[in-house]
């Protein structure tokens, strides 16, 4: 494999289109075609296994359409995607799915030299910009990040995630105040909030938790140890990627609601599990509904540790109960015991030495 060339993945259910794209991108001299597949599912699998620098996807494909594949490839794998479709009305849907560019696919008669010159230049610009940005941030490739998460048989926690809903602010405040000063991990916190209440909530937390800094999460910022990042109202809070030091770079997302919720605890927990594997520690506290249960399950399946608040201290036992029912709670504790348990887990793994 030529490391100086841009690694390109192509997905289109038309063998003719794939062949024309392959031929012209290869002849440009700047690209290496690492795979050319016929549907979105194969594109997702190829992107996961081969880590291309960029992908070109059609929309109408069998098994998984291009927009769904785009959401996974651009969202979870952080690989830029160009949606290449004859349906010009799909541009906005492509953007919402995370596409870096929507390019209208013309009739076959229009696949000429000037057309490919423009397309290749745009794809090359996007790919190079993305590669350069990752190098500047010191971001490790996702595959390398995953390999580095489980170097030890024991958990070495790198992030603490908290999710809550009804009764959550008081419950989480109790936990945060019990973590002492100089807590060694970044804390990512999703709370179901009404629009307009997030800034006041962050200020209240920061004033009432004298031992730890609490702020509203911002898009693109690096989450630092000893700071709590609260999800803004109506924005999903997820991890975009990691720095070379293993710190999370945050992303605020306008992706659709998850089970009618935005922000959703599930979104945060699943993204943390994807990047941190066994290094993820999460707490699911009081709240109505089931948000966070599926996220806890993903964390546990990846070797992480989850704590569900016990019914005896919950204002509403819905969310923790759902996680327990799924077998996704590593342990169940009353609120007053959670801070000490967190500290013992973090200190035992050596992170707080």
Query: Looking at the annotation, which residues are catalytic?
Result: 165, 192, 291
DSSP structure string for 20-37: HHHHHHHHTSSEEEEEEE
Other C-beta atoms within 10 Å of 244: how many? 12
Other C-beta atoms within 10 Å of 112: how many? 9
- Segment holding 64, helix H or strand E: none
**Cα(43)–Cα(77) distance, integer angstroms:** 12
CA quadruple 253, 237, 280, 308: dihedral positive or negative? negative
- Which residues, including other chains, have CB under 8 Å from residue 259's CB and lie 6 or more apart? 266, 289, 290, 291
- Which DSSP category does 337 fall into? G
Tokens representing 25 are 């991108």
Pairing relation of β-strands 236-242 and 248-253? antiparallel
- Which residues, including other chains, have CB under 8 Å from residue 223's CB and lie 6 or more apart? 159, 186, 188, 217, 229, 247, 248, 249, 250
CA quadruple 39, 117, 134, 153: dihedral positive or negative? positive
**Cα(75)–Cα(72) distance, integer angstroms:** 5
- Which residues, including other chains, have CB under 8 Å from residue 31's CB and lie 6 or more apart? 5, 6, 7, 8, 25, 120, 123, 124
């Amino acid at each position: 494999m030529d490391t100086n060339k841009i690694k390109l993945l192509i997905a289109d259910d038309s063998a003719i289109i794939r062949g024309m794209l392959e031929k012209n991108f290869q002849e440009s001299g700047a690209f290496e075609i690492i795979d050319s597949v016929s549907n979105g599912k194969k594109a997702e699998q190829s992107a996961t296994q081969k880590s291309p620098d960029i992908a070109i996807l059609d929309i109408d494909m069998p098994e998984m359409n291009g927009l769904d594949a785009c959401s996974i490839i651009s969202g979870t794998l952080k690989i830029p995607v160009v949606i290449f479709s004859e349906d010009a009305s799909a541009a906005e849907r492509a953007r919402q799915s995370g596409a870096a560019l929507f390019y209208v696919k013309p009739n076959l008669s229009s696949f000429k030299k000037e057309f490919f010159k423009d397309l290749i230049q745009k794809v090359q610009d996007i790919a190079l910009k993305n590669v350069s940005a990752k190098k500047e941030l010191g971001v490790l490739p996702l595959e390398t990040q995953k390999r580095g998460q489980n170097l030890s048989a024991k958990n070495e926690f790198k992030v603490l995630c908290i999710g809550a809903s009804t009764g959550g602010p008081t419950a989480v405040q109790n936990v945060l105040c019990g973590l002492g000063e100089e807590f060694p991990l970044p804390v990512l916190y999703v709370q179901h909030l009404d629009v307009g209440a997030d800034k006041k909530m962050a200020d209240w937390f920061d004033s009432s938790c004298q031992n730890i800094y609490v702020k509203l999460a911002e898009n693109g910022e690096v989450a630092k140890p000893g700071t709590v990042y609260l999800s803004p109202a109506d924005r999903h809070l997820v991890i975009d990627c990691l720095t070379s030091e293993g710190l999370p770079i945050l992303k605020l997302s306008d992706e659709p609601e998850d089970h009618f919720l935005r922000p959703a605890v599930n979104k945060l927990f699943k993204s943390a599990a994807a990047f941190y594997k066994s290094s993820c520690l999460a707490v699911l506290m009081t709240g109505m509904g089931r948000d966070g249960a599926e996220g806890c399950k993903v964390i546990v399946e990846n070797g992480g540790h989850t704590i569900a608040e016990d019914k005896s201290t919950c204002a509403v036992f819905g969310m923790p109960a759902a996680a327990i029912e799924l077998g996704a709670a590593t342990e169940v504790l009353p609120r007053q015991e959670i801070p000490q348990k967190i500290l013992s887990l973090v200190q035992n793994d050596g992170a707080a030495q």
